[in-house]
Each structure stands twice: as structure tokens, then as C-alpha cells.
Amino acid sequence: MNAPKRLVGDALYLGRAQTLDEYEIAFDVWSQTNACAASNLVPVVGTGRRSWGVLYEIPADLIRGKRADGRRTLAQIEGSRYEERPIRVRDTNGVEIEVTTFLVKPDEQRSGLWTSFDYVQHIVNGLRAHEVPEEYVQRVIDIAIRTNTRTAQPVTEQTHLIETLRQSRGSAHPG
């Protein structure tokens, strides 16, 4: 979130958070920037599954609109396939709050896409760096692998590399 290509350190880290409502991570939208399927949260009512993420406080002028300094807002970074949506989360102090996130618009969600090792590694490393429960990290890896096995694209190498994230704790590329 705070990387040079995104918000350049202007977002204030508030800790990790878990959704109160049932959501699952999905890789269901094509990202031209990442050249693979990008992540989304999708409702999975009745499953008991909740998703983890990182909570930030972001200055309003970095969320939407047009900036005088030419920097892109979060809405511009996320692009036209995403929309702002309120969701309820529990923060690290156990406080339940409503926050805003960007979710893929329903008519932009696609099946049959594949995601890359580099993209999933970025997510996994971020989750681990913020001490999200390892059980959830493993679920993210499972979903990425399942996504790749359901595509017509030959992405066996990407899937194998994603599998290596199960044991990897660092950010180095395997082998």
C-alpha cells in the first residue's frame, strides 16, 4: 500500500484486521499492470470464512479526485474495474469498525484467469510481515493454486513457484 508505485508512505499503518462478514480472497480480475489475475474479496455467506488484511488510515485527498501535485489517487491506482465499498472489520485491539476498501465490480469479475508467483508472493510476504495467522496465509496460497489449476493457460511453473511459498518466510525468489 505504501510502496513507491502506490501511496509513497503517506498511508498510516494501523495494524492488521479481519473481516467481520464472511469474505474470501479471489484472483478474479485481470491486471494489465501485473500481467496476471489480481486479488479481490468476494462474499462467501454461510462458510464462516473471514479474510485478513492490513488496515491503513489514508488522507482523503489520496483516495479519490484529482490532485494538484499530479500524484495518482488510490481510486486511480486501483482503476476502473474496482469500486469503493464499506466493509466491517475487527482491528488488532478487537474494536469493530466500518472501513472502506476497493472491491472488483461484479461485472468485472472473471473465472479462468491465472495469477503469478510474484503477485502472490507480494501478498503472502505482506501478510506474514504483519503477523496474520499462518492458517490464513496457507489459505491464500491454496486459493492461488486452485485459481491456476482452473485456467486453460499453461501456468504449471507459476503454480509450482506459488507452492514454494508454503515454507518460504523470506522474499527471495526460490532456486
Query: Residue 48 sits in a domain of what CATH number?
Result: 3.10.490.10
Residues 6 or more apart from 68 whose CB is under 8 A from it? none
- The predicted model gives 64-87 an average pLDDT of 72
C-alpha cell at 72: 495518482
Q: Does the residue 172 lie in any domain?
A: no
Q: Does the residue 174 lie in any domain?
A: no
Task: Dump the DSSP string for 42-75.
Answer: EE-TTS----EEEEEE--GGGTSS--TT-PPPHH
Structural domain span for residue 50: 12-166
- The predicted model gives 102-116 an average pLDDT of 94
| pTM for the model | 0.84
Residue whose C-alpha is closest to residue 113's, from 161, 156, 150, 154: 150
Q: Cα 97 to the chain's mean position, in Å?
A: 19
- Residue 135, pLDDT above cutoff 80: yes
What is the Cα–Cα distance from 56 to 1, expressed in whole angstroms?
8
Q: Does the residue 175 lie in any domain?
A: no
Q: Does the residue 6 lie in any domain?
A: no
Residue pLDDT, tens place only, 22-45: 999 999 999 888 899 999 999 999
What is the Cα–Cα distance from 129 to 73, expressed in whole angstroms?
25
Q: Are 174 and 158 in contact (CB under 8 A)?
A: no
C-alpha cell at 145: 493454486
Q: Does the residue 146 lie in any domain?
A: yes
The residues that bridge with 98 in the sheet, in sequence order, are 88
Q: Does the residue 118 lie in any domain?
A: yes
Q: Does the residue 173 lie in any domain?
A: no
Q: Are 42 and 23 in contact (CB under 8 A)?
A: yes
- Residue 99, pLDDT above cutoff 60: yes
Number of domains in the chain: 1
Residue with cell 508512505: 9
What is the Cα–Cα distance from 55 to 95, expressed in whole angstroms?
12
- Residue 92, pLDDT above cutoff 80: yes
Q: Element (H or E) spanning 129, and its range?
A: helix 117-129
Q: Does the residue 78 lie in any domain?
A: yes
